[in-house]
Amino acid sequence: MALKLPNSIGGKRDLILATRQVEQILNDRLQDEVRERFGAKKVGTKAGQQMLGELLETNKLKDDTQSLKQLLQQLEGIRQHSPQIRISFAQEPDQDLYKRIVAWFRTEIDPGVLVQIGVQPAIGAGFILKSPMRRYDFSLKTKILSSTPKFLEVLHRAK
């Protein structure tokens, strides 16, 4: 069964962070198992567990070492093979909007797609989408620039 990424893990950067988090937690738990075996005091983990929690919940996995190992392998597979898309806005989207955009791509395009968010203030408004094959420009800047003949027409009419 293919691993489903939660919408909070949208892009490659999030995926790498999640992988490191899972790796850290797995290492800490392995250390604790060894300590337990030798009667030493458990240390626990200091790594954040939010991403792991979402991953386990989304995929309905158990929170044990075996599941974490499988999770780690699947995350690595996704990082290497999943398609990527980049979408740029004039400003940084908030978390809710980010999740909605990621959700749309994973629902409508590909469940394993990694969505990278970029910021280009120069576009003013709208967005620019870079798919594996093409570039879609729905920015205000391009809209204005493509309307230059109309501006000129209006300008000459106003003379």
Nearer to another protein, 59 or 131 (CB): 131
Nearer to another protein, 39 or 121 (CB): 121
- How far is it, in rounded angstroms, from Cα 63 to Cα 51? 13
Please give the single-letter amino acid code of residue 110.
D
Nearer to another protein, 58 or 93 (CB): 93
What is the longest distance spanned by two Cα atoms in the chain? 90
Nearer to another protein, 83 or 118 (CB): 83
Distance of closest approach, residue 81 Cβ to another protein, in angstroms? 9
Distance of closest approach, residue 15 Cβ to another protein, in angstroms? 17
Distance of closest approach, residue 40 Cβ to another protein, in angstroms? 48
- How far is it, in rounded angstroms, from Cα 97 to Cα 31? 39
Distance of closest approach, residue 116 Cβ to another protein, in angstroms? 15
Give the binding site for another protein (CB under 8 A): 83, 85, 89-91, 93-94, 97, 100-101, 104, 108-110, 113, 121-127, 129, 131-134, 136, 138, 140-141, 144-148, 151-152, 155
Distance of closest approach, residue 58 Cβ to another protein, in angstroms? 22
Look-up of token digits 């198992």? 33
Nearer to another protein, 51 or 127 (CB): 127
Quick check: 115 and 130 in contact, CB under 8 A?
no
DSSP, residue by residue, 88-151: EESSPPPHHHHHHHHHHHHHHT-TT-EEEEEE-GGG-SEEEEE-SS-EEEEEHHHHHHHTHHHH
- How far is it, in rounded angstroms, from Cα 159 to Cα 153? 10
